[in-house]
Structure 1
Amino acid sequence: MAVDMDEFWVFGYGSLMWNPGFRFQEKSTARAFGYRRSLCVRSWVHRGTEQRPGLVLGLDYGGSCIGTAFRVPGSEKTDVIDYLRERELVTHVYRERTMPVQLADGRRVPALAYVVDRGHAQYAGALSAADAAETVATAFGKSGPNTEYVLNTLAHLQEMGIRDPWLEDVVARLAATTVPRVFPDAQRSL
């Protein structure tokens, strides 16, 4: 299938999948190669603070990642990029990249994505599920509790038919320890 070179796509692998915050013309399941979804970013703003960081997802090197690609109207490209930079580059833990993604129908399109900067102070690296759950359970930022972010992300991955055993383990640990006490309604959605 031919791709219109003037198309503008955005690839979401975390909260952008369920809360893009911009208008789009088309939405498709997509796969990015060479990167994987990882709860590897210490959140100092949206889901935690510098004193008590939360954890959010980043695209980290290795493997592949199934997410969502959004086709944005060309007339809104600049506004969407400005919005995404304000949202994703608050502390510059991500690097803005255009990368090829494969859409569900087989098309390969270039998409704007945000890849974690492994050299940044907020890069948490590979954590055990137990350590991640402990961090997530107590973190709260300007966008709300870290548990909400993790639960929403897993729920949306499951709706899309995407398995993430490590993230499922983090959520199971949250449900077994903190979620029933802190967020009783969240347990029912698991």
Structure 2
Amino acid sequence: MHEMTENLMPPDFESVARIWDRLADFEVANTDQALTLLLRILCQQLGCKNAYWLAAVRISQRDKKDPLLGWRPAATHHLYKPEPLVKLVKRKVRALNNGDISESTRNHVRQAGRFRAVTLAEHVSDEYFVSDEYHDSYQAMGLADSMWCIIPVNDDCESYFFMSSVGLGRNHSLRKINVLWRWHCAG
């Protein structure tokens, strides 16, 4: 049973089932189109500006000095890719490859193996919100908040869904939809 908070009604499980039925109709060769449809539907239902999916894989567990504990991004799919986002992703990949790991990424790695649905404010410290990372990844992009739903696929693979929002500022614009998001991922 899902907890009811902030006067939210239970989700319409029939509409969720219809989404999964629509996705099941795609041929295997059209998984990118299916993923685009899913991200578009989630953005519409959750009132988000953009979304992306990321597959993370653990390539090794042996190197204890690896700040990512063997985890690496394997594939990504963005719903919308405006030029500033493309440049940001390139900078972040370069930083990641140079061992410059953000607080958010460190926290995701530490929690690997567990289902989680969290907003940015639940995921990072207050200090993060005055960091260059927050400025570059959120403020400069016109974003106020974000939410992740991470689903472990097996011991060495996780599926990340990231939703971004504009508006009221940290921990406000996504507060209510966090419950709906948890229902989508768990339902």
Fold-level match, TM-score > 0.5? Answer: no
Tell me which protein shows more strand as a share of its residues.
1
TM-score, normalization by structure 1:
0.24
TM-score, normalization by structure 2:
0.24
